[in-house]
Amino acid sequence: MTNLEAQPRELVCAAGPAQDVQLVEPRDVPLGGPRAMTVRRTLPSRARSLVGPFCFADHYGPDDVAASGGMDVPPHPHTGLQTVTWLFEGSVLHRDALGSEQVVVPGQLNLMTAGRGICHSEESTPALFPDRPVLHGVQLWTALPEPARHGERAFDHVADVPTFTLDGALFRVFMGALGGVASPARAYSPLVAAQVDVPAGARVTLPVDPTFEHGVLVDTGTLRFEGHDVARSWLAYVPPGRDVLVLEAGDAPVRAVLLGGAPFDEPVLMWWNFVGRTHDEVVEARAQWQDAIAGDTAGLGRFGEVHGYAGPPLPAPELPNVRLRPRER
């Protein structure tokens, strides 16, 4: 998914100290158009930039696509990241510059690795999926480390992710390893991502890697996580050091997404759909994407082009008129 904010902020993201349990409030971000589909974004935020290598988290739906028009994101670029698409309801059609054309449905994973550059489109409209009127899921990004962020682009579809049960809860592990199972999805940093379904009244004591920091993004219900109540669409974060996490559901079942990973020790500069390290890298990527839209060979060489989408690519927003000065860690 793209960041469709007209004036996206430049953010320098870095792993850093946090309180024992940190609660991150979501902010509403419209995804364009007069009937804009709204997502709830917790990463990045002023409170927290990263959870392991995860640098972006959007939570959306349940959205009536007949009323909103659904997701219809024109071809747009990415650098230095992976896009992670995970659904609770509905379908999304992904097309990219590699020639991939893949529908993802709940329980499956679409994973795109940008490397130095790629472009893709995403659609979930009533015309495409009349039998799936509701769209509901999360879109995550992971920051790629050196040298993977300069590497080749790739796309993976995992149709059957591994699962396990613990204390009555069901875990679907779509990235990394947890509970003795491991996802086949490619990853470039130590990490984990899993859907967690906790029955009403259940208390789950989950063994985890103590070198990881972890976050839990709540989809439905109210989760009690490490002694703190976490409301729908909020993200709860804990730093490294725990070898177990305690998740509890009240009178209603809870569905959440668990994120984690080793603290990402490289600086991350995010602007629009680009993840880099310096202001100059972002300026260059934007210019080359604009060149690609215009049909320039060098720009197309970096990002490629999407075939099959009925519409023009998405132009980049204007850059801010100030140069970013990196913040102290």
- Kindly tell me if the per-residue pLDDT of 35 is higher than 60: no
pTM of the model: 0.92
Question: Average pLDDT of the chain?
Answer: 92
Please, which residues bridge with residue 200 across strands? none
For residue 329, the model assigns a pLDDT of 34
What's the mean pLDDT in 58-80? 93
For residue 10, the model assigns a pLDDT of 56
Q: Is 290 helix (H, G, I), strand (E, B) or coil?
A: helix
How far apart, in whole angstroms, are the C-alpha atoms of residue 49 and residue 329?
12
How far apart, in whole angstroms, are the C-alpha atoms of residue 294 and residue 75?
13
Domain boundaries of the chain, sorted by first residue:
11-261
In DSSP notation, 34-61 reads TTPPEEEEEES-SS-S-BTTEEEEEEEE
What's the mean pLDDT in 119-144? 96
| Residue 28 host element (H or E) | strand 27-30
How far apart, in whole angstroms, are the C-alpha atoms of residue 297 and residue 287?
13
Tens of pLDDT, residue by residue over 78-90, are 999 999 999 999 9
For residue 323, the model assigns a pLDDT of 78
What's the mean pLDDT in 15-34? 75
> 11-261 in CATH: which number?
2.60.120.10
Q: What are phi and psi of 53, to 5 degrees?
A: -85, -5
Please, which residues bridge with residue 14 across strands? none
How far apart, in whole angstroms, are the C-alpha atoms of residue 160 and residue 155?
16
